[in-house]
């Protein structure tokens, strides 16, 4: 990676996620690559989390602005849909920051391959991000954003968001 590409990676990757501003797009694993042409041009490849994520356009705009602010004259932000984003792309630092902000990070992603219908609740064990208790329960699979679910801790009684594993 050239010095310019390292700069581009830091600038693009350092953009906070608009809906989960405690983590950056790089920590969420959305930045797939940067390429500089050596003449002030940069292409960043960005993988949206969900197809319907309403923040994609804003993230693209923020990333482009950050790159221009870092001195790049020509900025291109490419959308990458394959391979698709999964919660496995979230970095360790991203997971720590989510937990510190009271958002339980995702556990292991569900197995790929044939889709099993699990009617009996096989929810992942999600430790409470506030008190660490393991006795927690899902209140609603849909939370305030497309990628989070609403959970509740039975020990400290506090509700919390959980970034779903996908």
Partner 1 sequence: MNGTGGEGDGPGDARWAFGTGFEDPLHGVAVEPPPGADGAAVARVCVALADDALVGAQRLAEWVTCAPELEIELALANVGLDLLGQARLLYARAGQVDGSGRGEDDFAYRRAAAEFRCLRLAELPRGDFAFTALRMLALSSARLAVLDGLRGAADPVLAAVAERGVTEVTYHRLFAAEWVVRLGDGTDVSRGRLGRAVEEAGPWLAEVWDDAVGAELGVAPGAVRAACAADWGRVAREAGVPLPVPVPVGGSGGRAGVHTAHLPVLLAELQGVARAHPGASW
CB of 118 to partner 1, least distance (A): 7
Measure the CA–CA gap between 117 and 19, rounded to whole angstroms.
Answer: 30
* Least distance between partner 1 and beta carbon 143 (Å): 7
Q: What are the CA-CA distances from residue 134 to residues 139, 151, 158, 163 (Å)?
A: 15, 12, 13, 16
Q: Tell me which stretch binds partner 1 (CB under 8 A): 8-16, 26-34, 82-90, 99-107.
A: 82-90
Largest CA distance in the chain: 58
Among 95, 143, 153, 162, indicate the residue that binds partner 1 (CB under 8 A): 143
Q: Are 165 and 109 in contact (CB under 8 A)?
A: yes
Please report, as ranges, the residues that interact with partner 1 according to CB under 8 A.
Answer: 18, 45, 50-54, 56-58, 60-61, 64-65, 76-86, 110, 114-115, 117-119, 139-144, 146, 150, 164, 166
């Amino acid at each position: 990676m050239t010095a310019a590409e390292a700069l581009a990676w830091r600038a693009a990757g350092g953009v906070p996620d608009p809906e989960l501003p405690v983590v950056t797009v790089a920590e969420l694993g959305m930045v797939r690559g940067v390429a500089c042409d050596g003449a002030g041009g940069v292409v960043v490849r960005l993988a949206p989390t969900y197809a319907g994520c309403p923040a994609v356009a804003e993230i693209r705009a923020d990333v482009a602005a950050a790159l221009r602010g870092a001195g790049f004259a020509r900025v291109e932000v490419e959308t990458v849909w394959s391979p698709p984003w999964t919660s496995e792309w979230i970095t360790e630092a991203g997971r720590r920051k989510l937990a510190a902000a009271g958002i339980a990070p995702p556990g292991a992603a569900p197995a790929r391959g044939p889709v099993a219908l699990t009617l009996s609740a096989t929810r992942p064990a999600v430790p409470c991000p506030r008190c660490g208790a393991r006795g927690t329960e899902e209140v609603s699979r849909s939370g305030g954003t497309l990628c989070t679910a609403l959970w509740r801790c039975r020990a400290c009684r506090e509700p919390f968001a959980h970034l779903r594993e996908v």
